[in-house]
Structure 1
Amino acid sequence: MTVATTLIPGLDDIVRNGDPKLRAEAARRIAELFLQDAAHLRPKHVDLFDEILVDLVPHAELVARAELAERLSLIANAPPVLIGRLARENEILVAGPVLRRSPVLGEDALLEIARIKGQGHLLAISERPKLSADLTDVIVERGDREVVRRAAGNAGAMFSESGYNELIKRASQDGVLTLAVGQRGDLSDVRLKQLLAGSIDVVRHRLHDVVKPERRNAIKLAVAEITGVPERFESKRDFVPAQRIILALREAGNLNEAALLGFAKSHRYEESVAALAAMSGVKISTLDNLVSGDRFDPILIVGKTIGLEWATVRALILMRLGPNRVPAPSDIESARVNFARLMPSTAERVVGFWKTR
């Protein structure tokens, strides 16, 4: 550490007795020195940097610590004790980069952090290039909806038998998670059938559309075994009868929000989509693809454009899920807040784009 002490005279005294500003400045300069020479440092030199930086870095400002964590997360021989300290910080801006990608952070440390830290730390861990089954067990047990979705969509994640059981259980109440799990390359046909058994028709069709072609036949076979009826995924909904109903309502001057609300509450999908198409000017085929997707956003956007009340938008969201499924209260509240915040001008621009499709 001769170079470091030459660079910063009185370093020992700064470490022991210096004020926070002096320590922060020393941390910045020594970290920069390490980052410049990291590729050429021997392990014993890394340890020397580590010993000093762990005493200095905590006194640096949040932005400086976050920037240092970002840079160190990419270095294979980053100071291990410092990396551990950064990963355990409560500030996710600091811990996040290290948890996401640092090759220095070991399995034991990751497990410890996953068991005691909050959702931000779990989300960062779920984005690592590789996740062991032990880690995903903790993630699936403790993680919220977003965390579990991210882990399920991570191709480098491994899941134990119990982990998969919990994933499929949670997917029965989460269409987005169903799509993520259904596209996993390590999902067996038996697990696929369990996954589909807990899903609704719109999610099954969506999954069929997004999986690799070789997986589609397995989905058809699984649904046939579940329902006892061969499923024709290629067939489209027949909107002709619904269009006739909507045309008659329009000619009678009765095509309005009250009629749409009635269709939605009765879970009459074709009539609801046909009514939305007539009221918004967007093609039925376009709206069908949008509404039957894995997000509520299209309903919020078209609803805002034609001036629907929240009660009608909420009924359309529930209709989209089917008569036997109810979204999580937090999802409904999030949709309500997003609908309230959505500017009509923004919604109109999006709908204008849909009309050109």
Structure 2
Amino acid sequence: MVLVQLVPAAQSQTGAPVPADLLALARNSSPEARQRLLLGVLALCDASPPAGELSPILGEIFLTLARQAEREVRKVLAEKLATADWAPAALVNVLALDEIEIARPVLAASPILKDDDLLRVMIEASLEHQIAIARRPHISGRVADAVIDRGEPAVLTALATNRTAELSVDGVRRLVEHSRRIAALRAPLTRHPRLTEALAEQLYQWVGAALRQTLTARFNVDEKAFGAAVYDAVAGVMRPAEADEASQDDPERDEMERRLIDKLQAAGQLRPGFLVRAVRERRLSLFVHGVSTLGGFATTDVREALAAPTPEALYYACAAVGIDRAVFPTLLTELRRLNHNLPGDRGDPVWQRGSLSEASAARAFRALHTGAQPDMQTAI
């Protein structure tokens, strides 16, 4: 190991480093000069900064250091300047776009960074930079809205945990909507100071039992009334009614059933058995939207599977959402009665090949709809 003796940069009579000497060191790329430059910068940061704008020579020293110095020098510089209100704006912006370990201190605290600077970093830098911005104390509503617009789960979660962010009611509402698909948002939102009672009732639909207790204690959400509302919605659809063939030709009816499926999914009550029962109750459109939602498939792909000359794609879709292969033959017969004898009976009964995992079935279904040829022997 080679030890380098650190020799301080020349200092003025007041004890502060001499700017001209620091600039000379900044232009010297030798290891010894870099070490001395580091000591000089530290001393400069510890000294009382000059009143008003920094002199051009000091600004050039800082920028030269940031652009040419080793990583450790830039890291120490970022830590020293993180809270300085006199630091050169150009330098702070350079550090904010550096690698995250260097950028994090200035992104978290620098008073030099304005909204436009933060928005630029969000566009140009990494996901870790975005998370650091979302955690920044007292970020403005403009920056918070930009975070929500981007919709990155990790960044949204960081924003939800930031109690000082200037979130509007609409911003909180959008976070609650995102929490339907991003489970990590739910816990911080239940405790967020800007969560309203109306939004708490919406959030209540898709959180677990523990978080429901938190919401109930905080907002006095009526658990019995909510449960009854969900039950009525399900029962209203599942009660015996007329045949469902016309629902595909009725956009209003189709949209109503799509919303019901979304509501059941959000409440954690959408299950494979519900889809089987929907077919038995002659609710074809409800079955289509249910399979699409549970499997993460496009409804157009599910409808194509129902209209295909072979039931292969439909079987993969059903297996992907957890419908047992032993149930599929009977389900297929009932679906054909509702759907003009489609899907057709061409091809081999793939459900007789053996069990198929949900993940493998989903891959096989998507492969059929992207034109790829799935490897069935591997999938089964």
Q: Normalising by the residue count of structure 1, what TM-score does the alignment of the two structures yield?
A: 0.53
Which residue is 2:181 aligned to?
Answer: 173
Matching residue of 2:97: 88
CA gap of 1:69–1:141, structure 2 versus 1, over 3 A, is same
Q: 1:36 to 1:161 in 2, by over 3 A?
A: same
Asked if the contact 1:24/1:59 (under 8 Å) is kept, the reply is no
Change (3 A) 1:135 1:23: farther
More helix by share: 1
Distance in 2 separating the partners of 1:47 and 1:193: 57
Aligned length: 224
Counterpart in the other structure of 1:31? 41
Report the alpha carbon displacement of residue 43 of structure 1 after superposing the two structures with TM. 2.0
Matched, 1:207 2:217: no
How far off is 1:224 after superposition? 4.5
In 1: Cα distance, 2:70 partner to 2:120 partner: 26
1:13 positional shift: 5.1
Q: 1:175 to 1:100 in 2, by over 3 A?
A: same
Task: Give 1:77 deviation, angstroms.
Answer: 2.8
What do residues 285-324 of structure 1 show as CA deviations (whole Å, max 9, x unaligned)?
xxxxxxxxxxxxxxxxxxxxxxxxxxxxxxxxx9xxxxxx
What amino acid sits opposite 1:122 in the alignment?
Answer: Q
Cα drift, residue 81 of structure 1: 2.2
Deviation at 1:124, TM superposition (A): 0.8
TM-score by length of 2: 0.51
Aligned residue identity for 2:43:
L
Q: Which residue in the other structure is 2:192 paired with?
A: 184
Equivalent pair of 1:153/1:180 in contact (CA under 8 Å): yes
The amino acid across from 1:228 in the alignment is A
> Which residues in structure 2 correspond to 1:1-357 (within 5 Å)?
3=12, 7=18, 18-19=28-29, 21=31, 24-25=34-35, 27-38=37-48, 40-45=49-54, 48-89=57-98, 91-142=99-150, 144-160=152-168, 163-197=171-205, 199-200=206-207, 203=208, 205-210=209-214, 213=217, 215-217=218-220, 220-221=221-222, 223-228=223-228
Correspondence for 1:250: none
The superposition leaves residues 72-123 of structure 1 with CA deviations (integer Å, 9 ceiling, x where unpaired) of 213333333211110111x101111110111221121111112332210011
In structure 2, do the counterparts of structure 1 residues 8 and 99 end up closer, same or farther at CA, with 3 Å as the change threshold?
Answer: closer
Give 1 or 2 for the bigger CA radius of gyration: 2
Segments of structure 1 that go 5 or more residues without pairing to the other structure are 231-265, 268-317, 319-328, 330-357
Letter paired with 1:227:
G
Superposed CA RMSD in Å reads 3.5
Mark the CA change 1:116 to 1:209 in structure 2 (over 3 Å): closer, same or farther: same
- Distance in 2 separating the partners of 1:186 and 1:78: 34
Alpha-carbon spacing, 1:104–1:46, altered in 2? closer, same or farther (3 Å) = farther
> Any conservation in 2 of the 1:126–1:150 contact (CA below 8 Å)?
yes
Find the aligned partners of 1:10 and 1:70 in 2 and give their Cα distance: 23
Question: Structure 2, unaligned stretches of length 5 or more?
Answer: 1-10, 231-270, 273-321, 323-358, 360-380
Q: Distance in 2 between matches of 1:131 and 1:8?
A: 35
Please state how far the C-alpha of 1:10 moved relative to its aligned partner.
5.5
Q: Which has the higher contact order (CA 8 A, sep 6+)?
A: 1
* C-alpha distance in structure 1 between counterparts of 2:158 and 2:23, whole Å: 45
The 2-side partners of 1:51 and 1:126 are apart by 31
1:65 CA drift (Å): 1.3
Q: Distance in 2 between matches of 1:6 and 1:36?
A: 10
Q: CA deviation at 1:173?
A: 2.1
**Letter of the aligned partner of 2:228 in structure 1?**
G
Distance in 2, Cα, partners of 1:100 & 1:186: 22
Query: Which letter does structure 2 place at the counterpart of 1:54?
Result: L
Structure 2 CA distance for partners of 1:96 and 1:26, relative to 1, 3 Å:
same
In structure 2, distance between residues paired with 1:20 and 1:169: 55
**Partner Cα separation in structure 1 for residue 155 and residue 199 of structure 2:** 21
Identity percentage over the alignment?
A: 23
Residue 29 (structure 1) shift: 3.5
Residues 238-264 of structure 1, C-alpha deviation per residue, up to 9 Å, x if partnerless?
A: xxxxxxxxxxxxxxxxxxxxxxxxxxx
Distance 1:211 1:23, change over 3 A: farther
